[in-house]
Structure 1
C-alpha cells in the first residue's frame, strides 16, 4: 500500500526558502563583516601602540632623566596595556613577555608588543591579546544585537509577503468552490498573476469540454426522443386497429414506452433550461387538472387537502410546474402501495406522502429505487426541474413511507 503523501504549503515553502536564502546571505555577510572588523580593529590597536611610542619619544626629548627605567600611566589594573621605557644597554626588569632584541611589532604568547629604540632608550608599548579579543567581541555583539531586530522584521515581512502572494490562489479556489454544479462559465482570470494564467486557461478549457459533452448528451436525448414519438404513435394506432388479441395486449407497453420518451424530452428541456419562465402560475389549478387526469388510472386512492384555498399564485412557469408536479404525482402512483396524501399550504409548500414497500431513494442518476420497475427518469426530471425553477425539494424516507416536500416561491405579480 502506497503511504499517503504529506501535504505541504506553498506559503510555508516560499517563506522557508526565501528566509533561508536571506539568512544564509546575512550569515556570510556577517562573517565577512566580522573578519573585516577584526582586521580594522587590530589595525586601530596597532595605531594606538604607535601613537604611544611616538608620545614616549617626545617625552624623552624633553625629559632630564631620560635614562631611568620607568612605566608611564597607561597600565590598567589588569595589566592589559603597558608602556615601558628602558635604558638600551641597562638591565631589563622582568615582564610577562619574553625579552625582545629587535624593533617592530611582535606577537608573543598573550601579548602584542611594539618595540622602538630612540634617545638611548628602548620603548615597549604592549597590549594584551585577551583584551583585544574582548574588545572585538563586544563590538561584534553590539553589531549582532542591532541586527537581531532586523532579522525579526525580515521574518515578519516575508510571512506577510508570502501570504499576500498566495491570496490570488485562495481567491481562485474560493470562486471555484462556490460555483453551482451547472455553472460552466469561464473563470475571471483578468486579476490573476501571470503564473496562474495557464491554470485558469486550462480550467476554462476543461469546463468548455464538459459543457460541450453535456450539450451533446442533451441534444442526443432530445433528438432520439423526438424521433421516437411519431413511430410509437403509428405503432400504437395500428395495434389498436388490429383484431389480434396479442396486438391489443401490447398497447399498454407502447403507452409506457411513450411516457418514457416524453420523460426523456422533459429531462432534456429541464437540463437545458429551455422555456422556463418566472410565471406567475396558479398552483392549485394545475394540481386540480393533474389529479383529474391521474386519478382514473391510479391503483390507489388520492386524498387532496387544498387548505381551503381558492387559488395559489406562485412564481413558476406553468408548463414547467405542471411537468414537475406530474412527475412527483406519477412517481407516488407508480411506486405506492396505499392511499396517496397530497397537501397544499398557503405558503407554497406541497407535501405528497405515500406508503411503500421499499422506502428508499435512488443512489445516483437514472438508478431506480429498490423494488422499482421504472427507469429512474422521474426522479431525475424532478431534481433537474426543481433546481432550474428555484424550488426547494426535500425528500424524506421513513418506515414504510416516502414523502416529497416542494417549497415553491409565491408570486408577487398578479396573474393577467
Structure 2
C-alpha cells in the first residue's frame, strides 16, 4: 500500500530494479534512510534480488563514529547486511590540494565502486533528490560552469542509480514522519562556510518562500542543458584511448578540426571524468593547442595535460618521475612496472653491467643532443620522457625509439600505455 506521495513516485522509479542486486549508499540521514527503508519494505513487491547497505565514515566530525554505530543498528533492525568503511579525508586533502567536500566525494565513490566490484552487485543506489539537483545547478553557475554542463552530478555512470531525482525534500520528510523513522543529523550541513550549505539555506530556501514555481523553471533549464550536452556529444566526437585508468590520449588533429566552442565542450566532457573541471583549466589547455612546440598544463589531482606532435595526453604526474636501475652482469631482463615495460637483453649485453634510466637534461647520443634527436623524429614529449636509455661507463649506448639493436628489446607488460 502506497501511503505517501514519496512512495507513489518512487515505486514507478524502482520497477527497473527487478532481479537486481543493490548497494544503497547509507549515511543514516533522512535521504538515504528513506530510500533504504522503502526498498527493503517493498523488496518482494519490486522483485529485487538483494539489498545491502554501505556506510562510509568520513572521520570529519567528532560524532562520525556515532553515525556509523547508528547505521549498523538501523540495518540490524531491518535485517539488512551493512558494510562500513573509514576513510582519511584530511590526508587526501593534504596530498592532492582539494577541498574537504571534493576529497570526501572521491574517496566515498571509490569505496562504493570497490565494493560493487568485489561482491559483483548490479547497482549503487544513492539518495540524491530534486533539491540536490537544483543546488548543483546554482553551485555550477557560481563556479562558472559552461551552459552545457549545468545538469546532473559530478559522477554519472550506468551503475549509479538516483531514483529520488523526481522527489523533493518535503516529500522525503513526509515519508520519514509518516513511518516515524529515526535518523542522524549531520551538523556540518548547517555550516555555511561550505558552498552547498549556503546555497541550500540562503538561495533555495528563499526561492521556495517567494515562489516555488521558480524551481520548476530551473529544472527546465537543467533539462535544456542536458539536451545541449547530448546534441554536442552527437555532433563532436574524438576517440579517447584509455591505456590505463590514469593515462589516456587522443588525436590532436581530430580535436583541432572543430571550432573553439566545440573544442571547449570536447575537452570538458573528457576531463570531467577525472577531476572537477573549471573554466581556467579549459582556457589553459586551449592556449597550449596553439603553441608550435610541445606544452604541458598542470591540472588538479596530480594530472597533467600534454599537447605534443601527434596526440594530446592526460596522465598522472608519477609517469614523469626519474628512474635509474643498475642491470647486473648476467641479468637478462629488467622490469619497470611504473611505466609498464620490460627490457630484455641478449648477446653481449646480457653479460654486461649497465645502467637503465630515463633521459636527463644535457644527454648526448653519438655526439648530438638527445633532445634534438627526439625533436627531429617528432617523438611526443611523454614518450621521450619515458623512453628507456641504456648507459655503459658513463656513455649512452642505446635509446628506445631511436636505436635499432636486436640484442636490446622493449616488451610491453600488461597495462602498458605506449604503442
**TM-score, with structure 1 as normaliser:** 0.17
Q: Of the two, which has the highest radius of gyration?
A: 1
Query: Which structure's residues are more often strand, by fraction?
Result: 2
Q: Which has the higher contact order (CA 8 A, sep 6+)?
A: 2
Query: Which structure's residues are more often helix, by fraction?
Result: 1
